[in-house]
Amino acid sequence: MATVLVAGADALPVVGRLFRPAGGRPLASFPLGRIVLGRWGAEPGEELVVVRQGADRVEIHCHGGRAATAAVVEALAGAGCRPTTWQVWHHDEAGDAVRAAALEALAHARTQRTAAILLDQYHGALGRAMDEIARRLRAGDAPSLAAARDGLRALLARGSLGRHLVVPFQVVLAGRPNVGKSSLINTLVGYGRSIVHDEPGTTRDVVTVATAFDGWPVELSDTAGLRAGGDALEAAGMRLARRHLAQADLRLLAFDAGRAWTTDDDELLAEWPAALVVHTKSDLPPDISRPRPAGVSASSVAAGGADELARAIAARLVPDPPTPGAAVPFAEPQIAPLAHALAYIDSSDPMSAAQALGGEGDRR
């Protein structure tokens, strides 16, 4: 399915020459918003639907794959239309870089929650917040400057989330061999993505799967078990696991609750102190011979055994979710001016800070 928009003063005459309504009436005789079934091009023609959306706008709704859409566009180009992408057209039409970027990002949103945040930015949440900060900066008095500084810091604090409204968070699960990592991954995503076997070194590559926790998009990775020794192939898998760990937004370290806590476990935790600790196989009797660090207990076999872990992952990734309608910068062209403006405020130069943000007209 595809929608082709024809916009401009000659939109109706051009489409009217190429489209034949099923009832024989000319397209111009139908009221705005009326769905008109007909055929496109020379006999017998492609069956499709056309809707007049305005005096200078006509939508063509076609089906049949890319070839059918390409044929419609080719015919329009032959009739004098200039083809363009919807991204370029919307940017020119909207005249607002933030709104145009938000609409493009919306097309790639993976969850309803992230789409709702982007939709708020499309409707002006971020633009209004930046305009208000710029207004306070131009006021120049101490309370206004303090409020502007707080506003910039709040927006920048949401920048990490904003970058991940389309690009998923990278969450990497690591641990010693046979602690239940692959089983846990399968339980979290709801199907058998990773191979499970009791032979150490079964997972030698990084296995990734796209999922979401509490509406936040995540690329979840299962990695090779980390241990001393192993053959050359297993060692390569462990090097790959550490590279993924180094680049992750969140690291999960899995430890078998049924095994005694060891100095090797201490060393692994010391290597990644900010990781979320996961005590696997919580359905089995735990080994309490030595104290172990606090963490989330999870099971791959017990009902709801990974629910708490899913909630903990979401809370770590987005500890302070934005409220509906909140401003959230979601791309570098918005985040960079905020950082520059804050630096100018800290240098006691509020006017340069206001110029860095620009005004409503400057962002068009």
| Domains, the chain | 2-83 (3.30.70.1400), 98-158+324-357 (no CATH), 169-317 (3.40.50.300)
Token pair for 131:
């305009």
> pLDDT tens digits for 31-76?
999 999 999 988 888 899 999 999 899 999 988 788 889 999 999 9
Question: 60-69, 92-101, 213-222, 340-349 — which is least confidently predicted?
Answer: 92-101
Amino acid code (one letter) for 234 = E
Q: Is the pLDDT of residue 185 over 80?
A: yes
* pLDDT at res. 201: 46
Give the pTM: 0.79
Share of the chain above pLDDT 90, in %: 66
* pLDDT at res. 232: 66
Summarize the confidence of residues 78-83 as an average pLDDT: 94
Q: Is the pLDDT of residue 105 over 90?
A: yes
- Provide the strand spans (E) within 207-352: 207-213, 216-222, 250-256, 276-280, 296-297
* pLDDT at res. 343: 95
Distance of CA 75 to the CA centre of its chain: 36
Query: How many Cβ atoms are within 10 Å of 208's Cβ, its own excluded?
Result: 19
Q: Is the pLDDT of residue 364 over 60?
A: no
**Element of type H or E holding 37:** strand 35-40
Question: 8-12, 32-36, 169-173, 240-244 — which is least confidently predicted?
Answer: 240-244
Bridge-based pairing state of the strands 46-54 and 276-280: unpaired
Amino acid code (one letter) for 289 = S
Summarize the confidence of residues 213-226 as an average pLDDT: 91
Q: Is the pLDDT of residue 242 over 90?
A: no
Question: 177-186, 189-198, 283-292, 312-321 — which is least confidently predicted?
Answer: 189-198
Report helix, strand or coil for 7: strand
In whole angstroms, how far apart are CA 87 and each of 63, 99, 251?
21, 11, 36
- 314 sits in the region (left: phi over 0; alpha: psi -120 to 50; else beta) called alpha
Residue 350 and residue 353: Cα distance in Å, rounded?
A: 5
**Element of type H or E holding 124:** none
Q: Is the pLDDT of residue 203 over 60?
A: no
Distance of CA 174 to the CA centre of its chain: 24
Q: What is the DSSP string of 79-102?
A: TT-----HHHHHHHHH--HHHHHH
Residue 94 and residue 69: Cα distance in Å, rounded?
A: 25
Confidence category of residue 197, pLDDT binned at 50, 70, 90 = very low
Bridge-based pairing state of the strands 276-280 and 296-297: parallel
Amino acid code (one letter) for 209 = V
For residues 173 and 254, the answer to whether their CB atoms sit within 8 Å is yes
